[in-house]
Structure 1
Amino acid sequence: MSAPINAVCALDSGVSALLGSKPQRLYSFGDAPQDVQKPYAVWQIIGGNPENYLAGRPDIDGYRLQVDVYASSGSDARAVAKALRHAIELNANIIRWGGESRDPSTKNYRYSFDVSWLVPR
């Protein structure tokens, strides 16, 4: 039970060019391996709900995902976010641009956004 973000992004050549394909550097639960190659992105479910009806079982689940891109430069972080947006937008909606920041200890650049994704059961 989750949104198929990895599967959708794996089919996009722009994402694969930036995040690789085997393995793809797009990690669930907001958890990337230690010392992973940059750029990379993480995602996690931050909300959602089934489409409930008065009669019968829901036939679709709604998910809200937070996606965070990490890179060695701001331009790389923006390029990956743009590629992810391009891959995702035909399947889901970007609902929030979360902003840009730089981690004071790792010096990684971060670009964040949220996605609303409806997934048929």
Structure 2
Amino acid sequence: MIAPIFSVCAASPDVISLLGSSPTRLYPFGMQDDAVIYPYAVWQNIGGGPENYLNQRPDADTFTLQVDVYADSPDEVVSVAQALRDAIETRANITRWGNQEQDAETKRYRYSFDVDWTVTR
């Protein structure tokens, strides 16, 4: 009941080149540790549900995910967002390009987007 965002993105050489491996710095929201290494990305479910039918159990689940990328520079945050986009679009649909901003406290950059993902059971 979780979209396969990590496995899809971790299979991309472009994502790995930017977010590393062992670990790949793509975390479920709130799971990154306090020793932050930039760039990194987080994702979370913001909606979804099973494909319900009257005469049978659901055969698919849909998810709406929010992805947030954090980096040291505007160019780096866009590069990571593009690599994630290219990996994700092979399996799901980007539905929103969100905020691009600089955090007032950390001075790091953030890029946000949403993904709709359907997973067959």
**TM-score, scaled relative to structure 1:** 0.97
Quote the Cα distance in structure 2 between the aligned partners of 1:71 and 1:98.
Answer: 16
Deviation at 1:35, TM superposition (A): 2.8
3-state SS of paired residue (2:29):
helix
Quote the Cα distance in structure 2 between the aligned partners of 1:97 and 1:70.
Answer: 15
Deviation at 1:30, TM superposition (A): 4.1
3-state SS of paired residue (2:42):
strand
In structure 2, stretches of 5+ residues that fail to align are none
Once superposed, what is the RMSD of the aligned Cα atoms? 0.8
Which position in structure 2 is the counterpart of 1:22?
22
Deviation at 1:25, TM superposition (A): 0.1
Deviation at 1:29, TM superposition (A): 2.5
3-state SS of paired residue (1:98):
strand
Which position in structure 2 is the counterpart of 1:45?
45
| Letter matched to residue 2 of structure 2 | S
Report percent identity of matched pairs.
60
Are residue 9 (structure 1) and residue 9 (structure 2) matched? yes
Deviation at 1:22, TM superposition (A): 1.0
Quote the Cα distance in structure 2 between the aligned partners of 1:37 and 1:85.
Answer: 21
Aligned residue pairs: how many? 121
3-state SS of paired residue (2:105):
coil
Quote the Cα distance in structure 2 between the aligned partners of 1:96 and 1:32.
Answer: 24
Q: Once superposed, which parts of structure 1, at least 4 consecutive aligned residues long, lie more than 3 Å away?
A: none
Quote the Cα distance in structure 2 between the aligned partners of 1:21 and 1:71.
Answer: 17
Quote the Cα distance in structure 2 between the aligned partners of 1:106 and 1:57.
Answer: 47
Alignment of 1:97-108 (within 5 A): 97-108=97-108
Alignment of 1:62-81 (within 5 A): 62-81=62-81
| Letter matched to residue 19 of structure 1 | L
Deviation at 1:32, TM superposition (A): 1.9
**TM-score, scaled relative to structure 2:** 0.97
Quote the Cα distance in structure 2 between the aligned partners of 1:35 and 1:41.
Answer: 14
